[in-house]
Amino acid sequence: MNRELRILILEDTPSDAELLEYNLRKAGMTFTALRVDTEPDFKHALVDFQPDIVLADYHLPAYNGGAALEYIQQIYPDLPVIMVTGAIGEEKAIELLRAGAKDYILKDRLSRLHSSIQRVLDEQEVARARQETEKKLGEAESKFRALFEMANDGIFLHDAAGFVDCNQKAADMYGLSRAEIIGSSPAELCPERQPDGRLSSEVADEKVQAAIRGESQHFEWRALRADNTTLDVDVSLNRIEFGDEYYLLAIVRDITERKRTEEQIRNFAFFDGLTQLPNRRLLYDRLGQTMLTTKRSGRYGALMFLDLDNFKPLNDTHGHDAGDLLLVEVARRITSCVREVDTVARFGGDEFVIMLSDLDSDKTESSELAGIVAEKIRISLSEPYVLTIQHGNDVKTIVHRCTSSIGVVLFINHEFSLEDIIKFADSSMYQAKKGGRNTVRFFDQLPGLSQSAERKHG
């Protein structure tokens, strides 16, 4: 790019746009920026300002980042768009990526923005080269060979028997020599099955036969390198003719990084970033599934609501780094006390929820089983925590004691709603707090009796 980079910012909050520009300049990027916040201004800026990239917020009072993305895809399909916004949910984020957004950056993670823009611009250059390559392939066989070798994507030529040629980029992508690729078939360069469970050989044959019939194919594919590691690729497969002969031209792009980004977005949506435990959203989903399972199996489940008793003093005295270390250790200890089929989730702050499934068809026996697990967790969490904190060259070791208050409720067959189950466990936990802490209390679901049945340990 010969001229200075031009960035169009679709953002209704001036301070957010200024912070965005500040982070980019701090990272060493030189650019000219223009902020707009309405649909007319946005469309005029696309014509007059001629941006190289668009950074778009999703929620605006007078416009919508999704609508802006759709407009660009229709009118300026080569103009890259990065969504820079607050949390909008995993489904919406992936929807925007699939609609054409090049990346999705949270406003509280602007440190990623510079590298994301650089990557997108680099990919844009690659895309331009790819488009140019595909345009010139039909001009002449001599020009085809030069472009074939210079392409930034892997290119394969395929006839009825298998691969007859590939460029060096394709060979490097798979970790093979060109000689090793020529003569092989597509199914030999991939695992036995694709992510959807279908046989790779079966799917490959379908795509090849459709392309032979002149039906252009564009699809994602799980490929296999020579060292048996997998990579995700985007494949464009088309029939081309040289004289009286036809071939299939496959243009293959490595999209492993994009798929990894999508997986990270899913993790942000369903898992706690500190402990890597399921978060509240995933807990609700699993609890709903377990409630259905208890209806079919006739076996009780149990939900435990756990709150740490002596957590705040650690944060106040030694800072959040120490608190984070303790929460990670608490998560590890709780997880070690339950089965793989059970769920341990971080509910928020120093609160955790443990869900036990498939206990027993007898309520008393289920209560005993849940009590054993709760007691095991209580004892494990009451052991001293040895925390090592490092700031530069300064290393400090802290020994901290922290017990837990645990409320437990049994559930079966939609006897109570999902919200009530959590509320009952939470209520029992607060009764454990009032009862002296370091305590397990069960919620008593029989009317007319005390609200909790107590299991207390001094």
Q: What is the model's pLDDT at position 72? A: 93
Domain boundary among 93, 125, 157: 125
pLDDT digits (tens, 9 = 90+) for 238-276: 998 876 788 899 999 998 888 888 777 776 778 888 999
Higher pLDDT residue, 400 or 415?
400
Contacts with 410 (C-beta within 8 Å, 6 or more apart), sequence order: 300, 301, 302, 359, 363, 366, 367, 370, 442, 443, 445
219 and 320 in a single domain? The answer is no
Q: What is the model's pLDDT at position 410? A: 95
The CATH number covering residue 245 comes to: 3.30.450.20
Whole-number percent of the chain with pLDDT over 90 = 54
Question: What average pLDDT does the structure give for the chain?
Answer: 87
Mean pLDDT of 25-41: 92
87 and 175 in a single domain? The answer is no
Q: What is the model's pLDDT at position 2? A: 57
Q: What is the model's pLDDT at position 1? A: 54
The CATH number covering residue 312 comes to: 3.30.70.270
Total domain count, the chain: 3
Q: What is the model's pLDDT at position 450? A: 37
154 and 225 in a single domain? The answer is yes
Determine the structural domain holding residue 371 and report its residue range.
271-456
**Residue 279 is assigned to a structural domain of this protein:** yes
102 and 156 in a single domain? The answer is no
**Residue 263 is assigned to a structural domain of this protein:** no
Q: Are 94 and 103 in contact (CB under 8 A)?
A: no
Q: What is the model's pLDDT at position 335? A: 95
* Predicted TM-score (pTM) of this structure: 0.48
**Whether residue 164 has pLDDT greater than 50:** yes
88 and 114 in a single domain? The answer is yes
**Residue 197 is assigned to a structural domain of this protein:** yes
Domain boundary among 79, 104, 125: 125
Model confidence band, residue 423 (pLDDT cutoffs 50, 70, 90) = very high
**Whether residue 445 has pLDDT greater than 50:** no
243 and 389 in a single domain? The answer is no
pLDDT digits (tens, 9 = 90+) for 205-221: 999 899 989 999 999 99
Model confidence band, residue 133 (pLDDT cutoffs 50, 70, 90) = low
Which amino acid is located at 451 in the chain? Q
The CATH number covering residue 43 comes to: 3.40.50.2300
**Residue 266 is assigned to a structural domain of this protein:** no
Count Cβ atoms below 10 Å from residue 128 Cβ, excluding itself: 12
pLDDT digits (tens, 9 = 90+) for 338-350: 999 999 999 989 9
Q: What is the model's pLDDT at position 456? A: 41
**Residue 132 is assigned to a structural domain of this protein:** no
3-class SS string, the chain: CCCCEEEEEECCCHHHHHHHHHHHHHCCCCEEEEEECCHHHHHHHHHHCCCCEEEECCECCCCEHHHHHHHHHHHCCCCCEEEEECCCCHHHHHHHHHHCCCEEEEHHHHHHHHHHHHHHHHHHHHHHHHHHHHHHCCCCHHHHHHHHHHCCCEEEEECCCCEEEECHHHHHHHCCCHHHHCCCCHHHHCCCECCCCCEHHHHHHHHHHHHHCCCCEEEEEEEECCCCCEEEEEEEEEEEEECCEEEEEEEEEECHHHHHHHHHHHHHHHECCCCCCECHHHHHHHHHHHHHHHHHHCCCEEEEEEEECCCHHHHHHHCHHHHHHHHHHHHHHHHHCCCCCCEEEEEECCEEEEEECCCCCCHHHHHHHHHHHHHHHHHHHHCCEEEEEEECCEEEEEEECCCEEEEEEEECCCCCCHHHHHHHHHHHHHHHHHCCCCEEEEECCCCCCCCEEEEECC
Mean pLDDT of 360-378: 94
